[in-house]
């Protein structure tokens, strides 16, 4: 590290030098070096090694430890691998601010926080795509030698080092190498060996096994299930050139309409009946006496906890019940508990809940006067390593849970409800509601309950384009329409 009239230039060994970045951050914080006095660069042959002028090891060892929120640490580790050149400046500034401004961690609209989260999300997506789209091809081996499998991949960010352990676990018995323009990695069954980038021509061409895969892919392709937009989202075009099956996608898509027409003519399958809007109420009335639903919120909580009408309940930590008092005039309905709600057993206490609380603060609403609940009472997730990633509940799961929501409505007797997002809107109304066009509008249920439709707070947190502040203000405008109900509590039942 070199001092230049107060300023410091940190030179990292490579774009994916996460260890160097973290060590430099620790050292800079220990030296109280303000972000505006730090310049970051990645070493090229011209720049030399890790630090232009390495600080003594003892100095780094003496750097006092500091703690950052776990969430921020995760963002930093991913966002540091983004290809955006200014990421190190941003991330060091964020660390500096997190240490100096304790409230920052709870501010979901801070521009630096949003920026870091966006970078982190895009890196995680790239890592996920790499795990999904790497296609190995066998390399001709010498007699007696194990076959090596080689893949060519072009990531958007500097993710090879971070993603390689996934392949080592998944293909532990295989010898393989992944070549990318910036970095290559080889696995010999025991260690990961990283090297410089390679060229596409260095990877082997298609083989006979690949033909088998193409035949299989063409067979399993179901034209009736074709959702081109979803497919493009999941498998963006830029990956196609390295996916053998991509050569089949266009012809299969073109043939899809014709093939699905044929399937309709051939097939005599029983159509699924749509649930009429009033069917939830009917089902509740028609339940046999021995499974009669509970008559108080406490009894309802107990009954919900034991629900296994769909598979989600088995995996969640606990059911998350609604919160608030019977008699609240306004009920807000979300989708399902998230990771933190599942652990704490309370609705809206994670990031989406924090944004909702900010909205309440701006609107002058008191959370205690409202009733907050979810359409689905258990957390549905997918395990990715140690992380539990939110998965949208399926319609059947939401249906299975609707008995509990309906009973809650019956017991709380709100005068109005707000549907936060599509799952809530569907659960409340009994039919799919297009949230982007219906937001800000009041709908009426068959039982007369007015339902205001708006976005789920998580949708605002996920927003990648546009002005987050303007989106938040527009959301407040939607919510404000229910202000008349937010302050009232009728006699408790």
Q: Which residues bind ligand URA (CB under 6 A)?
A: 334-338, 341, 347-348, 350, 352-353, 374, 458
Nearest to ligand URA of 148, 341 (CB atom): 341
- Best CA proximity match to 207, nearest among 148, 147, 139: 139
**In angstroms, what is the minimal distance from the CB of 350 to ligand URA?**
6
Residue written as tokens 């072009």?
A: 154
**In angstroms, what is the minimal distance from the CB of 28 to ligand URA?**
36
Nearest to ligand URA of 120, 374 (CB atom): 374
* Rounded-to-integer distance, Cα 1 and Cα 114, Å: 29
**In angstroms, what is the minimal distance from the CB of 71 to ligand URA?**
15
Nearest to ligand URA of 20, 347 (CB atom): 347
Q: Which residues of 423-451 are buried (b: 16+ CB within 10 A; e: fewer)?
A: bbbbbbbbeebebeebbbeebebeeebeb
Nearest to ligand URA of 110, 341 (CB atom): 341
**In angstroms, what is the minimal distance from the CB of 351 to ligand URA?**
8
Residue written as tokens 């359409």?
A: 375
Nearest to ligand URA of 92, 404 (CB atom): 404
Residues in the chain: 493
Question: In 254-339, where do the E strands start and end?
Answer: 330-334
**In angstroms, what is the minimal distance from the CB of 337 to ligand URA?**
5
Nearest to ligand URA of 378, 413 (CB atom): 378
* Rounded-to-integer distance, Cα 112 and Cα 124, Å: 18
Q: Classify strands 387-390 and 381-384 as parallel, antiparallel or unpaired.
A: antiparallel
Output the six-digit token pair for 393.
């509940």
Q: Which residues contact 41 (CB under 8 A, 6 or more apart)?
A: 9, 10, 11, 12, 47
Ranked by CB distance to ligand URA, the top (closest) residue is 334
Distance of CA 169 to the CA centre of its chain: 23
* Rounded-to-integer distance, Cα 31 and Cα 27, Å: 6
**In angstroms, what is the minimal distance from the CB of 456 to ligand URA?**
6
**In angstroms, what is the minimal distance from the CB of 313 to ligand URA?**
16
Output the six-digit token pair for 405.
């929501």
Nearest to ligand URA of 18, 412 (CB atom): 412
Nearest to ligand URA of 11, 423 (CB atom): 423
**In angstroms, what is the minimal distance from the CB of 367 to ligand URA?**
12
Q: Is 305:314 a contact under the CB 8 Å cutoff?
A: no
């Amino acid at each position: 590290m070199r001092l230049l009239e107060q300023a410091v230039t940190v030179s990292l060994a490579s774009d994916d030098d996460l260890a160097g970045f973290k060590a430099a951050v620790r050292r800079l914080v220990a030296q109280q070096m303000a972000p505006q006095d730090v310049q970051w660069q990645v070493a090229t042959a011209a720049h030399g090694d890790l630090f232009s002028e390495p600080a003594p090891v003892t100095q780094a060892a003496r750097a006092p430890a500091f703690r950052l929120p776990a969430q921020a640490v995760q963002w930093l580790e991913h966002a540091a691998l983004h290809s955006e050149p200014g990421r190190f400046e941003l991330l060091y500034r964020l660390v500096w601010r997190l240490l100096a401004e304790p409230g920052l961690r709870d501010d979901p609209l801070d521009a630096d926080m949003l920026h870091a989260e966006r970078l982190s999300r895009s890196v995680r997506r790239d890592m996920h795509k790499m795990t999904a789209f790497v296609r190995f091809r066998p390399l001709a081996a010498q007699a007696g030698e194990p076959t090596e499998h080689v893949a060519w991949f072009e990531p958007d960010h500097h993710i090879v080092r971070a993603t390689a352990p996934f392949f080592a676990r998944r293909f532990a018995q295989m010898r393989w190498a992944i070549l990318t323009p910036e970095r290559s990695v080889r696995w010999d069954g025991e260690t990961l060996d990283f090297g410089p980038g390679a060229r596409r021509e260095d990877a082997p061409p298609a083989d006979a096994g690949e033909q088998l895969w193409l035949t299989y892919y063409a067979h399993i392709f179901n034209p009736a299930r074709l959702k081109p937009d979803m497919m493009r989202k999941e498998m963006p075009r830029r990956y196609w050139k390295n996916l053998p099956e991509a050569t089949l996608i266009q012809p299969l898509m073109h043939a899809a309409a014709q093939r699905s027409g044929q399937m309709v003519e051939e097939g005599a399958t029983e159509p699924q009946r749509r649930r009429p809007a009033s069917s939830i109420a009917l089902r509740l009335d028609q339940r046999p006496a021995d499974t009669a639903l509970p008559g108080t919120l406490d009894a309802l909580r107990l009954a919900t906890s034991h629900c296994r009408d769909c598979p989600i309940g088995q995996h969640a930590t606990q059911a998350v019940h609604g919160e608030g008092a019977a008699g609240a005039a306004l009920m807000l309905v979300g989708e399902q508990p998230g990771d933190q709600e599942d652990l704490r057993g309370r609705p809206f206490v994670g990031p989406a809940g924090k944004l909702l609380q900010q909205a309440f603060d701006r609107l002058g609403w008191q959370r205690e006067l409202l009733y907050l609940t979810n359409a689905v009472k258990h957390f549905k997730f997918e395990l990715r390593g140690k992380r539990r990633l939110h998965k949208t509940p399926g319609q059947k799961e939401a249906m299975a849970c609707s008995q509990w929501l309906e009973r809650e409505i019956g017991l709380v007797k709100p005068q109005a409800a707000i549907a936060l997002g599509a799952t809530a809107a569907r659960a409340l109304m009994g039919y799919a509601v297009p949230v982007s066009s219906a937001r800000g509008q009041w709908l009426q249920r068959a039982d007369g309950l007015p339902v205001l439709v708006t976005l789920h707070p998580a949708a605002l947190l996920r927003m990648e384009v546009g002005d987050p502040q303007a989106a938040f203000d527009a959301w407040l405008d939607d919510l404000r329409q229910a202000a008349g109900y937010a302050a009232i509590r009728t006699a408790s039942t």
